[in-house]
Amino acid sequence: MKNKHTIEQCKRYASGLHRLQNLCTSINKENLKDALPMITKGIARLINAETVVACIIEGDKLELLSAYGKQAKAISIQNINIKNSACSWILKNKKPILIDNPLRNKRILKGIPDNIRTDSFIGVPLFSEKGVLGVIFAFNKKNRDLFTKQDINFLNIFSTVASPLIENIRLNERQNQIQKELSALQSIID
């Protein structure tokens, strides 16, 4: 029975890595924003998570970039407070976190809204050239199992793809804003 579970797990991981490879080769400048939902969906499928969230740091808050899964809507309408939470721990320590018993770790899951069920939690930092850019985290396995170190390894792989993608999105947004400002100035001059 255990071998069957391991074989199914290997098939799921192989499928997820294949999706990641396809995603990496298909990303271009025109579809950067479309890639983030594909990444969170790919992570959820790979590690069998109910919900996966990608956020960036904006001041003392995390700004939601993409959420996928069962509780994504509950996350997408809330600002996630990063003080004294699992996310703040990830940002401060610049390391992944795995919480397999949230009842013993209520303080560290403080930033997750009360209306969201949290049986297990994993998260990893997103790095940029300047430091920590944000976090990707997941909670609750679909089959009620707990997350594993292998799940963290796969989440780390996805974060290495997501980090430069997020930086490119931000740079493109800044470039577009500067272009608009220059166009407005040009129209005033003309």
**123 is in which domain, residue-wise?**
2-189
* Angstrom distance (rounded) from CA 23 to CA 173: 21
In the chain, the amino acid numbered 155 is L
Give the tens place of pLDDT for each residue, 133-169.
889 989 889 887 889 888 898 888 888 877 887 787 7
Asked if residue 43 has pLDDT above 90, the reply is: no
* Angstrom distance (rounded) from CA 98 to CA 124: 9
pTM given for the model: 0.77
Total domain count, the chain? 1
* Angstrom distance (rounded) from CA 44 to CA 49: 5
Asked if residue 92 has pLDDT above 60, the reply is: yes
Tokens of 66: 């993409």
Average pLDDT over residues 175-179: 89
Give the domain CATH number at 139. 3.30.450.40
**H/E stretch holding 58:** strand 49-58
3-state secondary structure 122-180: EEEEEEECCEEEEEEEEEEECCCCCCCHHHHHHHHHHHHHHHHHHHHHHHHHHHHHHHH
